[in-house]
Amino acid sequence: MDVPRDITKLERFLDKLASDVYPELPSIIHTEITNEALKKLEDFFPLTVGKKVLDVGCGQGPALEFFHNHHADYLGVTLGDDDIAACRAKGYKVEKMDQSFLAIPDNSQDLLWARHVIEHSIFPLFTLHEFYRVLRPGGMLYVEVPAPETACHHECNPNHYSVLTKGSWHSLIERSGFRILCIADYAFVVPAGPDTYWGFYCKKL
């Protein structure tokens, strides 16, 4: 039985949320965890010259520097104009793009790097299916998210719409067609108190 869906309502809602974008300024903690996550990536996915890499929610380019230096065929995407300007000033390849509506061909990417971006999705299952679509079979996905209800209360961030439990992310990722190879726990302390991020290393089946 067909069910009517007025997609214009969704489009209006997404337009309303567009103003919630803010620049991702560099920080010591994020840089350190990014470097640690990239180092661990080598255990599962050695980044050789020419590999096609999509950095979704690239911020101001902490991972793009790594991909650039490894001579990957990379592209960073973000919605933030300030972040785009900062990346281009460093010579990085970036485009303005929504993580849930990637203007990227099917089965075209070897690695999709999505660090602290999917919690900004209002429909993470849909977004994960979009990640799955653009990755080639056997391709690698890295997703990193903040844990809920830590001292930092990421669930209260105005544009964090999907701050879920580890089990919830595990289930959504597997339902999207990925096999989780490893989950890295990043626990640290900030002025507000203890905080935790989870990094999921996944392979497209």
CB 14 within 8 A of CB 94: no
Within 8 A by CB and 6+ apart from 115, the residues are: 34, 37, 57, 63, 142, 143, 144, 199
Indicate whether 199 pLDDT > 90.
Answer: yes
Mean residue pLDDT across the chain: 95
Model confidence, pTM:
0.95
* Amino acid present at 32: E
Domains and CATH numbers, the chain: 24-204 (3.40.50.150)
Judged by DSSP in three states, 57 sits in coil
Indicate whether 195 pLDDT > 90.
Answer: yes
Query: CA-to-CA distance for 90 and 100, rounded, in angstroms?
Result: 26
Instruction: Using only the alpha carbons of the chain, give its radius of gyration.
Output: 17
Give the residue ranges of DSSP H helices in the chain. Answer: 7-17, 28-44, 62-69, 81-89, 124-134, 166-175
* Amino acid present at 202: C
Whose structure tokens read 């933030």? Answer: 80
Percent of the chain whose pLDDT exceeds 90: 90
End-to-end Cα spacing for the chain: 31
Q: What is the pLDDT of residues 96-149, one digit of tens each?
A: 999 999 999 999 999 999 999 999 999 999 999 999 999 999 999 999 999 999
Q: What is the pLDDT of residues 15-39, one digit of tens each?
A: 989 888 888 888 899 999 999 999 9
* Amino acid present at 159: N
Q: What is the pLDDT of residues 53-77, one digit of tens each?
A: 999 999 999 999 999 999 999 999 9
Indicate whether 154 pLDDT > 90.
Answer: yes
Strands 178-190 and 135-146: unpaired
pLDDT band at 204 (very low <50, low <70, confident <90, very high): very high
Query: What pLDDT shows up at residue 25?
Result: 81
Indicate whether 1 pLDDT > 70.
Answer: no
Query: What pLDDT shows up at residue 116?
Result: 97
